[in-house]
Amino acid sequence: MQVFLKRLSQHRERLSQLEMGVLEFILHHHEIVVHMNVDELAKKLFVSTATISRTCQQLGFRGFQDFKYSLKKEVTKEPHNTVFSHSGFLSTHIDRVKQEIESTIDYIDEGKISEAAKYIHDSKHVEFFGVGNSLPPCVDASRKLMFSGKISSAREDWDELRSVANSLSEDDLAILVSYSGETLYTLEYASLLKKRNVKTISITGQHNNRLQQEVDLSFQAHVINCYYGEMDMSSRFPLSIILDFIILTYLEKYKDS
């Protein structure tokens, strides 16, 4: 629970004074908030329901219900030695995965997917930027593009990624994948790419993040925060779903090129 609350606290700088008040109440009274609806919380804090929703979005959630879902999981979390075979425990995570898939698909804009496919077609080289747990979806997507005949790569070394960002040109495409959209290395690469007028696409798992503001085309997956003890168990497959849709559309539209 403390890890979850600490993650919420890291968003303080992005909040207005009203939103900060909402966050402070949540941090100190989370055991109460988990049983409240948005109207009750708004009346309790003398703010509008819109302020509550906006605060949750700034914290990286779709809205109050999405936030409350994650908070409830943390409050009711089993002890660290809980086994995965516990049916109630597993069903909670099955529901989480279902929600991630359904919400990610709901976000899909076919027009933007087609636009991203054209970006790939028009580029000489596609470079994927992903660090930490966001790297595997990049490696998988790059491999698929390579097999299709498009020159592509996904590198692991952070310094090498910085060097690549400084060498790409207007004829290239950079696809930046980030769970939070706030990873400092990824934001640095995005800034370098922007200065070089490189076409950029972002795929993120959280709402209202800085990376979305730095790229030409952004996609939103739906990733629900999930921790087991202090271990980050948040999914990355929603990011891969969007990458697959873009690549499939590229293959279908430009298979004869």
- Of 67 and 192, which is predicted with more confidence? 192
Give me the residue label for tokens 């990049």.
138
Confidence of residue 27 (pLDDT cuts 50, 70, 90): confident
Strand duo 227-228 + 231-232: pairing: antiparallel
> According to the model, what pLDDT value does residue 163 have?
96
Fold of the domain built from segment(s) 106-253 = Rossmann fold (3.40.50)
Report residue 2's pLDDT band, with 50, 70 and 90 as the boundaries.
low
DSSP 102-124: HHHHHH--HHHHHHHHHHHHH-S
Q: What is the pTM of this model?
A: 0.68
Among 226, 243, 224, 204, smallest CA distance to 102 is for: 224
Whether the pLDDT of residue 169 is over 50: the answer is: yes
pLDDT top residue among 2 and 241:
241
Contact 182, 136 (CB under 8 A): no
pLDDT at 235: 87
- CB contact at 8 A, 221 and 181: no
CATH code of the domain made up of 2-77: 1.10.10.10
Domain with CATH 1.10.10.10 in the chain: 2-77
Instruction: Count CB neighbours of 98 within 10 A.
Output: 10
Q: What is the mean pLDDT of the chain?
A: 88
User: What integer is the mean pLDDT of 52-77?
Assistant: 85
| Predicted confidence (pLDDT) at residue 66 exceeds the cutoff of 50 | yes
Helices (H), ranges, the chain: 2-9, 17-28, 30-33, 38-45, 49-58, 64-75, 87-107, 110-122, 135-148, 158-165, 184-195, 237-253
For 110-144, the pLDDT digits (tens) are: 999 999 999 999 999 999 999 988 999 999 999 99
Q: Is the pLDDT of residue 93 over 50?
A: yes
Predicted local confidence at residue 166, as pLDDT: 97
Q: What 3-state DSSP class applies to 198? A: coil
Average pLDDT of the segment spanning 236-257: 93
Phi first, then psi, for residue 124 (nearest 5°) are -85, -35
Q: Inform me whether the pLDDT recorded for 28 exceeds 90.
A: no
Q: H helices then E strands: how many in the chain?
A: 12, 7
Residues of the chain with CATH 3.40.50.10490: 106-253
